[in-house]
Copies of this chain bind each other. A is one copy, B any other.
Amino acid sequence: MIIDHLDAPVPGSSLHPTLTGEAYTSAEVFEREQQEIFEKMWNCVLRADSIPSPGQWKTVTVGREEIIVVRTRKAGIKAYHNVCRHRGMRVCTSGDGKNKTLQCGYHAWTYALEGELVAAPNLTSMPDVDREQYGLKSVAVREWLGYVWVCLSDADQGEQPPSFEETVLGEVRTSFGAVESIDNYGIENLRCGESKTYDVAANWKLIIENFMECYHCATIHPELTEVIPEFADGLASQRANGEVHGASFGEQIRGFTVDGSDGVTEFPSIAPDQERKYYAITVKPQVFINTAPDQVIIHRMFPVSESRTIVVCDWLFLPEVVERVDAGELDVSKSVELFHRVNLQDFEACEQTQPSMSSRAYRSGGALVPSEHHIGEFHSWWTQRVEAGSAD
Shortest beta-carbon distance from A224 to chain B in Å: 15
Contact with B along A360-375 (1 / 0, CB 8 A): 1111011111110000
Q: Which of A73-124 contact B (CB under 8 A)?
A: 81-90, 93, 105-108, 120-122
Q: How far is the CA of A218 from the CA of B86 in the complex (A)?
A: 16
Residue in B21, B81, B220, B357 whose beta carbon sits within 8 Å of that of A106 in the complex? B220
Of the listed stretches A12-20, A243-251, A301-309, chain B binds A12-20
Report the interface size for chain A: residues with CB under 8 A from the other chain. 64
Residues of B within 8 A of A349 (CB): 89, 105-106
Q: Is there contact, CB below 8 Å, between B89 and A353?
A: yes
B90 contacts A358, CB within 8 Å?
A: no
Given contacts A106-B216, A129-B15, contact A88 B360 (CB under 8 A): no
Q: Which residues of B contact A64 (CB under 8 A)?
A: 358-360
Task: Say yes or no for A49: interface residue by CB 8 A criterion.
Answer: no
Do the beta carbons of B366 and A87 come within 8 Å of each other?
A: yes
- A94 CB to closest chain B CB (Å) equals 10
Most chain B CB inside 10 Å of its own CB: which residue of A65, A90, A220: A90
Is the beta-carbon distance between A126 and B366 smaller than 8 angstroms?
Answer: no
Interface membership of chain A positions 129-155, coded 1 if the CB is closer than 8 angstroms to chain B and 0 otherwise: 100001001000000000000001010
Instruction: List the B residue with the shortest CB-CB distance to A216.
Output: B107
CA distance A152 to B218 in the complex (A): 34
Distance in angstroms between the alpha carbons of A12 and B367 in the assembled complex: 62
**Of A64, A66, A218, A353, which is in contact with the most chain B CB atoms at under 10 Å from its CB?**
A353
Closest to A154 in B: B360
Check A128 for interface membership: any CB of B closer than 8 A: yes
Task: Report which residue of A86, A137, A154 has the largest number of chain B beta carbons within 10 angstroms of its beta carbon.
Answer: A86
Q: Which of A33-57 contact B (CB under 8 A)?
A: 39
In the complex, how many angstroms separate the beta carbon of A28 from the nearest chain B beta carbon? 15
Within 8 A of B (CB), among A191-243: 209, 215-216, 218-220, 234-235
State whether A90 touches B355 (Cβ < 8 A).
yes
Chain B CB within 8 A of A356 CB: yes
The docked-state distance in angstroms from the alpha carbon of A126 to that of B373 is 13
A219 touches B107 (CB 8 A): yes
Question: What is the 8 Å Cβ interface bit string for chain A, positions 1-30, against chain B (1 contact, 0 not)?
Answer: 000000000000111001001000000000
The 4 closest A-B pairs by CB, nearest first: A14-B126, A81-B361, A83-B361, A88-B356
